[in-house]
Amino acid sequence: MPRIAIIGAGVSGLTMGRLLSPDAQVTIYESASRPGGLIKCDRVDGSLFHTCGGHVFNTRRPEVLEFFWGLFDRERDFTKADRNSVVRMPDGAEIPYPIENHAYMLDDDTLRSVISDVAHMHSQEGEPENFEQFLRRQFGSTLYELYFGPYNRKVWRRDLSTVPLSWLEGKLPMPTPEEILFNNIRRVKEKAFVHSTFYYERCDGSQFLADTLAAGLDLRLSTPVSAIERTAGGHWAVEGETYDRVVFCGNIKQLPSMLRGVDISGYVPAIDALESHGTTAVFCEIAPNPYSWIYLPDATYDAHRIICTGNFSPTNNAPGRMTGTVEFTDEISHDEIMRQLPSIPFSPRYITHHYNPCTYPIQHADTRSMVSSLASRLSADGLYLTGRFALWEYFNMDVAMASAISLAPKILS
């Protein structure tokens, strides 16, 4: 059986470990004291805190469904919920998500402007060249100025005309003008869309998912990897042990300083230039509400959404308390959090917060081709890349699993 080292015990590394372990001797190295990566959760005063986002499971990928439900008991371990999301407007109005399906709830003048935008969409020529152009052409200038522009500027914290389109696939609904009009006339709800329902763990949230994936694997926690060395004999040395192959699920920006015996110097300038955003997750007690996600386009504060994880499972709340996570892009100080919270709807009251310095990769026009070329170069020597930050892709959890599922047979062969 081949000996394989996996670097990183997030969703991608743990999935890869489960896939490879029946046919290989697999060791997973993780610098943190527990598995999970971005899906880790803490218990704080009896309530569950997703330290980065609010991770749920949904997919239409048959290979992911087969893998996932082969590990978990759907009825025992999970509850199924309808996604109930809302856009909280600056005037206090709550417009169900997606907003383009509920334009009929806007005031008459705004609705007329939306209808005019939709009516003229077919007359636009050429393909959009950046994210701002895409949003204006896809949803119209009225909805762009009302919601899509201000919300996404808070998420990306940059001029949207500088954001490329490569990351978009599968991330946003892409309704045609006819569908926008039909959905408003027929009052089509969010349940018609791919991610309109989700499964959520009954206890311990996505930490339960990470712990279950990790069970039975050779997992070396609190073991950061400083070097991955290609030896003269054609093997790999990791933390004093020899392996036939390595699967790197860490951050590609750390790879040049770790790699020995393989020359990737030609890729280093492009790797160094890669950009990403972090996330400050502020765990709060919030006013009772029926929502799962609340989107916040109001420019008077920096938070862009509230993830109402307290509604995902009753076990997420301590008795008598409703909790959720207020999310900010990049780092925000405790003092600034406390200054802004009173302006944010649903009366969030601070419990704790956590800053993740690297959460969302930012792609540019040549990012995918560069990473693909590097991955091909390394795989020839038996080092493989997968995961959100190894491939610099904005992977949701199911896409991270799908990437591992696709790669595993190639590693074993």
Reported confidence tier of residue 190, pLDDT bands at 50, 70, 90: low
Hey, what amino acid is at 203? C
Rounded CA-CA distance 169/171 in Å is 6
Residues found in the chain:
413
209-212, long-range: CB < 8 A, 24+ apart: 209/39, 209/55, 209/57, 209/72, 210/9, 210/10, 210/11, 210/14, 210/34, 210/35, 210/36, 210/37, 210/39, 210/40, 211/34, 211/35, 211/36, 212/71, 212/72
Q: What is the mean pLDDT of residues 381-409?
A: 97
In whole angstroms, how far apart are CA 12 and each of 26, 77, 182, 342?
14, 21, 39, 38
Question: pLDDT tens across 333-369, in order?
Answer: 999 999 999 999 999 999 999 999 999 999 888 999 9
pLDDT value of residue 187? 86
pLDDT value of residue 347? 98
Single out the residue of 136, 140, 134 nearest to residue 103, CA to CA.
140
Question: pLDDT tens across 29-82, in order?
Answer: 999 999 999 999 999 999 999 999 999 999 999 999 999 999 999 999 999 998
- pLDDT for residue 406 is more than 60: yes
When the pLDDT of each residue in the chain is averaged and rounded to a whole number, the result is: 94
Question: pLDDT tens across 83-142, in order?
Answer: 999 999 999 999 999 999 999 999 999 999 999 999 998 777 788 989 999 999 999 999
Question: pLDDT tens across 5-22, in order?
Answer: 999 999 999 999 999 999
Strand 236-238 versus strand 228-230 pairing type: antiparallel
pLDDT value of residue 125? 78
Rounded CA-CA distance 325/51 in Å is 9
pLDDT value of residue 388? 97
For residue 41, what is the enclosing H or E element? strand 41-44
With H, G, I as helix, E, B as strand and everything else as coil, classify residue 112.
Answer: helix
- pLDDT for residue 174 is more than 90: no
Question: pLDDT tens across 246-269, in order?
Answer: 999 999 999 999 999 999 999 999
